[in-house]
Amino acid sequence: MDLLIKNGTLISSQGKIKADLAVDGEKISAVAQSIPTGSAKKVIDADGLFVLPGAIDAHTHLAMPFGGTISSDDYFAGTRAAACGGTTTVFDFAMQDFGEKLTDTVLRRNALAAPQAAVDYAFHVAIKDLRDDLIHSLREAVDFGVPSFKVFMVYDFGVSDGDMLQILQEARACGALISVHAENREVIASRVSQYLAEGHGSAWYHYLSRPEFVEAEADERAIRWAREADTPLYIVHLANREGVKIVEKARAEGLTVYAETCPQYLEFTCDVYKRPDGRNFVCSPPMKGQASQDELWAAINRGVISTIATDHCPFQSYEKDWGKDDFTKIPNGCAGVENMFPYMLSKAGEGRVSYEKVIELCCENPARIFGCQTKGVLAPGKDADIVLYDPQQDFTITQDKMHSDCDHTIWEGVSLHGYPLQTYSRGRLVYDRGSFVGQEGWGKLLKRRLQP
Amino acid sequence: MDLLIKNGTLISSQGKIKADLAVDGEKISAVAQSIPTGSAKKVIDADGLFVLPGAIDAHTHLAMPFGGTISSDDYFAGTRAAACGGTTTVFDFAMQDFGEKLTDTVLRRNALAAPQAAVDYAFHVAIKDLRDDLIHSLREAVDFGVPSFKVFMVYDFGVSDGDMLQILQEARACGALISVHAENREVIASRVSQYLAEGHGSAWYHYLSRPEFVEAEADERAIRWAREADTPLYIVHLANREGVKIVEKARAEGLTVYAETCPQYLEFTCDVYKRPDGRNFVCSPPMKGQASQDELWAAINRGVISTIATDHCPFQSYEKDWGKDDFTKIPNGCAGVENMFPYMLSKAGEGRVSYEKVIELCCENPARIFGCQTKGVLAPGKDADIVLYDPQQDFTITQDKMHSDCDHTIWEGVSLHGYPLQTYSRGRLVYDRGSFVGQEGWGKLLKRRLQP
Amino acid sequence: MDLLIKNGTLISSQGKIKADLAVDGEKISAVAQSIPTGSAKKVIDADGLFVLPGAIDAHTHLAMPFGGTISSDDYFAGTRAAACGGTTTVFDFAMQDFGEKLTDTVLRRNALAAPQAAVDYAFHVAIKDLRDDLIHSLREAVDFGVPSFKVFMVYDFGVSDGDMLQILQEARACGALISVHAENREVIASRVSQYLAEGHGSAWYHYLSRPEFVEAEADERAIRWAREADTPLYIVHLANREGVKIVEKARAEGLTVYAETCPQYLEFTCDVYKRPDGRNFVCSPPMKGQASQDELWAAINRGVISTIATDHCPFQSYEKDWGKDDFTKIPNGCAGVENMFPYMLSKAGEGRVSYEKVIELCCENPARIFGCQTKGVLAPGKDADIVLYDPQQDFTITQDKMHSDCDHTIWEGVSLHGYPLQTYSRGRLVYDRGSFVGQEGWGKLLKRRLQP
Amino acid sequence: MDLLIKNGTLISSQGKIKADLAVDGEKISAVAQSIPTGSAKKVIDADGLFVLPGAIDAHTHLAMPFGGTISSDDYFAGTRAAACGGTTTVFDFAMQDFGEKLTDTVLRRNALAAPQAAVDYAFHVAIKDLRDDLIHSLREAVDFGVPSFKVFMVYDFGVSDGDMLQILQEARACGALISVHAENREVIASRVSQYLAEGHGSAWYHYLSRPEFVEAEADERAIRWAREADTPLYIVHLANREGVKIVEKARAEGLTVYAETCPQYLEFTCDVYKRPDGRNFVCSPPMKGQASQDELWAAINRGVISTIATDHCPFQSYEKDWGKDDFTKIPNGCAGVENMFPYMLSKAGEGRVSYEKVIELCCENPARIFGCQTKGVLAPGKDADIVLYDPQQDFTITQDKMHSDCDHTIWEGVSLHGYPLQTYSRGRLVYDRGSFVGQEGWGKLLKRRLQP
Predicted confidence (pLDDT) per residue in D94-130, tens digit = 999 999 999 999 999 999 999 999 999 999 999 999 8
Radius of gyration of chain A (CA): 21
pLDDT of amino acid A252: 87
Burial-class residue C400 by CB neighbours within 10 Å (0-12, 13-18, 19+): exposed
Q: Does the CB of D7 have a partner CB in chain A at under 8 Å? A: no
Q: Which of C12, C254, C298 lies closest to B298 in CB terms?
A: C254
Give the pLDDT of residue D131.
Answer: 85
Sign of CA dihedral C296, C300, C302, C306: positive
Nearest to B252 among C17, C248, C377 (CB): C248
Percent share of chain B, pLDDT over 70: 100
Task: Report the pLDDT value the prediction gives residue D239, as an integer from 0 to 100.
Answer: 98
Q: What is the pLDDT of residue D128?
A: 93
Measured between alpha carbons, how far is residue B224 from residues A221, A389, B180 in Å?
Answer: 11, 46, 12
Whether C444 maps to a domain, the answer reads no
Q: A189 CB near a chain B CB, below 8 Å?
A: yes
Q: Are residues D153 and D116 in the same domain?
A: yes
- Residues of chain C with C-beta less than 8 angstroms from the C-beta of D221: 217, 221
Give the gyration radius of chain D's Cα atoms.
21
Q: Nearest chain C Cα to D226, which residue?
A: C213
The C-alpha torsion from C92 through C95 and C100 to C102, rounded to 10°, is 40
Checking DSSP bridges between strand A3-12 and strand C65-66, what pairing results, if any? unpaired
Which residues on neighbouring strands pair with residue C291, listed in sequence order?
none
Beta-strand pair B386-396/C257-261: unpaired
Instruction: Note whether A129 contacts B: Cβ–Cβ < 8 A.
Output: no
A273: amino acid identity, one letter:
Y
Phi then psi for residue B69, to 5 deg, are -145, -160
For residues D247 and D304, is the Cβ–Cβ distance under 8 A?
A: yes
Taking only the tens place, the pLDDT of each residue in A342-398 is 999 999 999 999 999 999 999 999 999 999 999 999 999 999 999 999 999 999 999
Tell me the whole-structure pTM to 2 decimals.
0.93
- In this structure, are residues B82 and B114 in contact, taking their beta carbons and an 8 Å threshold? no
Residues A79 and A102 in one domain: yes
Q: For chain A, say whether D34 makes contact (Cβ under 8 Å).
A: yes
How far is B237 from chain A, CA to nearest CA, in Å? 21
Q: Are A304 and A244 in contact (CB under 8 A)?
A: yes
Flag if B187 and A194 touch (Cβ within 8 Å). Answer: no
Instruction: Give the B:C interface size as CB pairs under 8 Å.
Output: 100
In B177-283, beta strands by DSSP E: 177-181, 233-235, 257-261
CA distance B94 to chain A (A): 25
> Is residue B405, in this structure, part of any structural domain at all?
no
> Measured between beta carbons, which residues in chain A are less than 8 angstroms from residue D376?
14
The per-residue pLDDT for A253 is 86
| pLDDT of A216 strictly over 80 | yes
Instruction: Please indicate if any CB of chain B lies within 8 Å of the CB of A301.
Output: no
Contact B194/A at CB under 8 A: yes
| Long-range contact set of residues A434-441: C-beta below 8 Å, sequence gap at least 24 | A434/A84, A434/A401, A435/A84, A436/A80, A436/A83, A436/A84, A436/A118, A436/A403, A438/A80, A438/A83, A438/A118, A438/A119, A439/A118, A440/A76, A440/A80, A440/A115, A440/A116, A440/A117, A440/A118, A441/A114, A441/A115, A441/A116, A441/A117, A441/A118
Asked if the structure places residue A411 within a domain, the reply is no
Give the Cβ contact number of residue B70 at 10 Å.
16
**Partners of A28 in the β-ladder:** A23
**Chain C contact probe: residue of B4, B11, B14, B39 with most C CBs at under 10 A:** B14
Of C33, C249, C382, Cβ closest to residue B27: C33
Chain A CB contacts of B230 below 8 Å: none
Residue C37 contacts residue C4 (beta carbons within 8 Å) = yes
Contacts of D302 in chain A (CB under 8 A): 251, 254, 256
Quote the pLDDT of residue D35: 94
pLDDT score recorded for residue D66: 84
Interface size A-B, in CB pairs within 8 Å, comes to 52
**C42 and C63 assigned to the same domain:** no
Collect all residues of chain C within an 8 Å Cβ-Cβ radius of residue B251.
248, 302-303
CA atoms of A54 and A431, how far apart (whole Å) = 12
What residues in A contact B160, CB-CB < 8 Å?
186, 189-190
The SS3 assignment for B325 reads coil
Q: Are A61 and A53 in contact (CB under 8 A)?
A: no
A23 and A75 in a common domain: no
Model pLDDT for residues A221-248, shown as the tens digit of each residue: 999 999 999 999 999 999 999 999 999 9
> Has residue D323 been placed in a domain?
yes
- Which chain D residues have a beta carbon less than 8 Å from that of A245? 252
What is the per-residue pLDDT for C68?
A: 84
Is the pLDDT reported for residue A443 higher than 90? yes
Strand B428-432 vs strand B415-425: parallel, antiparallel, or unpaired?
antiparallel
How far from B407 is each of B71, B284, B431, C404, D14, CA to CA, in Å?
12, 20, 21, 71, 69
What DSSP element (H or E) covers D171? helix D161-174
pLDDT mean over A98-109 = 96
CB-CB under 8 Å, D189 with C162: yes
Same domain, A46 and A32: yes
- Claim to verify: residue C299 and residue C424 sit in the same structural domain: no
b/e A195-205 (16+ beta carbons within 10 angstroms → b): beeeeebbbbb
Is C161 close to D186, i.e. CB distance below 8 A?
A: yes
The residue of chain C with its CA nearest to that of B257 is: C302
Q: Is residue B190 part of a domain?
A: yes
- Report yes or no: D246 and D216 within 8 Å, Cβ to Cβ: yes
Residue C374 lies in a domain: no
Task: Write the residue in D14, D17, D298 that is nearest to A381 by C-beta.
Answer: D17
Residue B249 vs residues B255, B260, C263, D63, D127: alpha-carbon distances, Å: 9, 16, 27, 51, 41
Please tell me if residue A452 touches chain D, with a CB cutoff of 8 Å: no
User: Which pLDDT does position C429 carry in this prediction?
Assistant: 98
Average pLDDT over residues D346-359: 97
Backbone φ, ψ for residue B30 (5° rounding):
-160, 150
User: Cβ of A381 and D30 within 8 Å?
Assistant: no
pLDDT tens digits, one per residue of B200-256: 999 999 999 999 999 999 999 999 999 999 999 999 999 999 999 999 999 988 899
Residues A48 and A71 in one domain: no
Residue A140's CB is within 10 A of a number of other CB atoms, namely 15
Half-sphere exposure of C186 (CA within 13 A, CB side): 18
Nearest-angstrom CA–CA distance, A282 and A284: 7
| Cα–Cα distance, A94 to A435 (Å, whole number) | 29
Nearest Cα residue to B32 out of C52, C19, C18: C19
Of B190, B217, B221, the CB nearest to A160: B190
Asked whether the beta carbons of residue D19 and residue A381 sit closer than 8 angstroms, the reply is: yes
Q: How far apart, in Å, are the Cα atoms of C82 and each of A365, C238, D405?
A: 68, 22, 73
Contact: chain A with chain C (3+ CB pairs below 8 Å)? no
Angle between helical axes of A137-144 and A161-174 (0-180°, round to 10): 50
Question: By the CB < 8 Å criterion, does C165 face chain D?
Answer: yes
At residue D59, the 3 state secondary structure works out as: strand
CA C232 to chain centre: 19
Asked if C31 and B27 come within 8 Å (Cβ–Cβ), the reply is: no
Asked if A150 and A126 count as a contact pair (C-beta separation under 8 A), the reply is yes
State whether B41 and B71 are in the same domain. no
Is B165 close to A187, i.e. CB distance below 8 A? yes
Verify B-C touch: 3 or more CB pairs within 8 A.
yes
d(CA C32, CA C15): 15
Contact residues, D window 238-257, toward A, CB-based 8 Å cutoff: 245, 248-249, 251-252, 254, 256
Give the total number of structural domains in chain D. Answer: 2
Phi, psi of C388 (to 5 degrees): -95, 120
DSSP A361: I
Torsion over CA: D49, D53, D58, D61 (sign): positive
Q: Which subunits count as partners of chain D given 3+ CB pairs below 8 Å?
A: A, C
Span D175-211, pLDDT tens digits: 999 999 999 999 999 999 999 999 999 999 999 999 9
Same-domain status, A138 and A38: no
State in Å, rounded, how far the first CA of chain C is from the last one: 35
Same domain, D121 and D155: yes
Helix then strand then coil, in percent of chain D rounded to 5, is 35, 25, 40
Q: In the structure, do chain B and chain D come into contact, i.e. share 3 or more CB pairs under 8 Å?
A: no
**Residue D298 pLDDT greater than 90, yes or no:** yes
Residue B406 lies in a domain: no
User: According to the model, what pLDDT value does residue B231 have?
Assistant: 97
* Chain D residues near residue A18 by CB distance under 8 angstroms: 381
**Cβ C34 vs Cβ C8: under 8 Å:** no
Q: Are residues A100 and A158 in the same domain?
A: yes
Question: Is pLDDT above 80 for D132?
Answer: no
Residue A319 in 3-state DSSP?
A: helix
Which residues of chain C have a pLDDT value below 50? none
- At C237 the three-state DSSP class reads coil
Give the C-alpha separation, D27 to B244, whole Å: 61
Strands B428-432 and C15-24: unpaired
Indicate whether A452 pLDDT > 80.
no
C-beta of residue C62 within 8 angstroms of C-beta of residue C74: yes
**Cα–Cα distance between A10 and A16 in angstroms, integer?**
6
Asked if B33 lies within 8 A of C27 by C-beta distance, the reply is yes
Which range is least confidently modeled, B79-88, B247-256, C138-147, D356-365?
B247-256
Contact at CB, A161 and B190, closer than 8 angstroms: yes
CATH number, domain at C126?
3.20.20.140
CA dihedral for A152, A155, A157, A159, sign (positive or negative): positive
What's the CATH number where C42 sits?
Answer: 2.30.40.10
What is the DSSP pairing of strand D69-70 with strand D65-66? Answer: antiparallel
Contact partners, residue D111, CB within 8 Å, separation at least 6? none
Residues B38 and B139 placed together within one structural domain of the fold: no
Interface mutation vs chain C, best among D130, D133, D160, most C CBs within 10 Å: D160
Return the residue of A nearest to B211 by Cα: A228
Half-sphere exposure of D277 (CA within 13 A, CB side): 11
Nearest CA in chain B to A223: B217
Nearest Cα neighbor of D158 from D222, D110, D237 is: D222
What does the buried/exposed string (b/e) look like for C36-59 if buried means 16 or more CB atoms within 10 Å of the residue's CB?
Answer: eeeebeebbebeebbbbbbbbbbb
CA-based torsion, A133, A138, A144, A150: positive or negative: positive
Identify the band that residue A156 occupies on the pLDDT scale cut at 50, 70 and 90.
Answer: confident
D377 touches chain A (CB under 8 A): yes
Please check whether residue B291 lies inside any domain of the structure.
yes
Q: SS3 of D116, please?
A: coil
The amino acid at residue A117 is A
Q: D95: domain range?
A: 55-369
Asked if the Cβ–Cβ distance from C190 to D221 is below 8 Å, we say no
- Let me know: does A3 contact A42? Beta carbons within 8 Å: yes
